[in-house]
Structure 1
């Protein structure tokens, strides 16, 4: 029997059309969580200065006051001004030991160190945090960058700081413009780099301090950050006059301690290269 091709009527023909897949929603952008910011304030008889300092503090997550054995109302005033403040009593003497104790007590992602005398402006903290969030490991305050300045530094201290900064830049291969300024911030995950001692008791004899317990702490942090190859960014900062009281800083004795710190922290590789260069020159 012959085959007959059957043709569908025109009205029953099936039209095939391309079907567009449903549009997928754009993925939500990844939003980095806000870092927790801890501020460490070493204080010794600073009751009259704390109202000004705390009034200038921006919104931060944690404020730690490290008391150095104040005989005035420093602790009471701090608690009155900020009921959420955490008070730590340092176990030895000196600003360096106070900072070490304060750092050890921090629970934040970022640690900022400011002074209790009003010389460092708490209102600048967002600039330090921005530098860290932008990629820096260690944000170094500088009075000598554009936008910085000082109402407190003397000609002698300025000249000494300049000489020490040049010396460190040559020895450590850094580019610091202001070595001896103590307004700094860093990511808490780098705390171990600094090797600070916050637990050992005061040594017998002498002034009851370990190395790094004095004002040399500011240079110590800066040099150890450089030795650890941390990403360092200088942040312009303006240093104000102390509001009340008298500074415990001594330009001569503390300058000697800074020099000793530089000598002790100079990397062995630099020392070896220097000796080799000196030997070649002698020959």
Structure 2
């Protein structure tokens, strides 16, 4: 069978210094979509210089979740891969995620807590919080996730309707985010994949330190959004018992 086409979504806000490293590590893919969050540096110009074929879109609200949703909406390939623009997720790992999908998964979920995986960035408090969220989600949803809050994921584009992400509603007052527009997006994707009984394969991944600049992640504030997301998604599930769903490790390509 022909190889599937691949679109890589890169949400970016003032990441001009990081993009040369990220794009240099990128394997050959069919489409790269940079979603700009209103950068005031040369993020867009650098991206276009490095990849003249890049597709640039401007997100219509605020937050990483909204940026990803805007990127998903314009992707044209069979597979969508989501990475970060700060160098923390290694684009050279993209073939692992594609292989997991080709070998039967609907959703390939990166994990920093598998053999041959790891993180140079996660703090003890975030690590503890992630373990707590994993335990809660695995209990409520019948999953076996090892890393709920990691943003390196890939899925078949045909699965997009499962995630039910909104890119049409105008920016609300306040901080400019609707629910799902922030860092809770990874939790939403994972829980909606579970609720839809998608076949999920966890893929070992190593999280690197951000190369330049500082993260917008707030461990406490965004952790509370993740906790509220778990509660909201569980209420939406309408289930009182775990779903018949399991995470399996991907087979090696060609096996």
Q: Could you say whether these structures have the same fold, taking a TM-score greater than 0.5 normalized by the shorter chain as the test?
A: yes
Pairwise TM-score range, normalised by the shorter structure: over 0.9
| Count of residues in correspondence between the two structures | 241
Query: Do structure 1's residue 83 and structure 2's residue 52 form an aligned pair?
Result: yes
Q: Partner residue of 1:190?
A: 159
User: Which of 166, 181, 184 is the matching residue for 1:216?
Assistant: 184
Give TM-score, length-normalised by structure 2. 0.93
Query: Do structure 1's residue 240 and structure 2's residue 216 form an aligned pair?
Result: no
Structure showing greater radius of gyration is: 1
Q: Partner residue of 2:145?
A: 176
How well do the aligned residues superpose, as a CA RMSD in angstroms? 1.2
Unaligned runs of at least 5 residues, structure 2: 243-255
Structure 1 window deviating more from structure 2 (194-203 vs 106-115): it is: 194-203
Q: How does 1:262-277 map to 2 (within 5 A)?
A: 262-266=230-234, 267-270=237-240
CA deviation map 1:100-128 (0-9, x unaligned): 00000000000000000000000000000
Q: Secondary structure at the match of 1:270?
A: coil
Asked if the contact 1:40–1:114 (Cα under 8 Å) also holds between the matched residues in 2, the reply is yes
Unaligned runs of at least 5 residues, structure 1: 1-31, 273-283
CA deviation map 1:194-228 (0-9, x unaligned): 0001121101x221111000000010000000000
Query: Do structure 1's residue 72 and structure 2's residue 41 form an aligned pair?
Result: yes
Shift of 1:270: 2.0
Q: Secondary structure at the match of 1:234?
A: strand
Give TM-score, length-normalised by structure 1. 0.84
Q: Partner residue of 2:195?
A: 227
Asked if the contact 1:38–1:64 (Cα under 8 Å) also holds between the matched residues in 2, the reply is yes
Q: Partner residue of 2:246?
A: none
Asked if the contact 1:172–1:270 (Cα under 8 Å) also holds between the matched residues in 2, the reply is no
Query: Do structure 1's residue 115 and structure 2's residue 90 form an aligned pair?
Result: no
